[in-house]
Amino acid sequence: MLAGRITDGGHAASGQGALAASHDMTRRVGIQAEISGFSRNDAQPGAMFALGAATYQLNRRLVLDCGVRFGLSHDAPRNGFFAGMTVGIADLYIHRH
């Protein structure tokens, strides 16, 4: 990950990773869970998070999600709320009937 600097030129680099799982509850509603984190650099400390989300598929290409995120490490923010959307632009899978 590259993070730009506000006060100095250049950027700060760190690594990040995530492990996620999802489950469809109905045709349109699903849940997701994730553990993620990023390493420290000279601009910020590293952090680990746990995340839980609910999803709703509006149509074939648009999925809305919202949930909560909890900090697992000492320097991570304790909790937070998020919302977002995923827009599908291509179907790369081969469908066999």
Task: Supply the DSSP symbol for 95.
Answer: P
CA distance 33 to 69: 10
Q: Are 16 and 37 contacting, i.e. CB atoms less than 8 angstroms apart? A: yes
Whole-model pTM: value is 0.71
CA distance 60 to 27: 11
Q: Are 51 and 19 contacting, i.e. CB atoms less than 8 angstroms apart? A: no
For 25-52, the pLDDT digits (tens) are 999 999 999 999 988 776 678 889 999 9
CA distance 30 to 11: 37
CA distance 46 to 71: 11
Q: Is the pLDDT of residue 11 over 70?
A: no
Q: Where are the domains of the chain?
A: 14-87
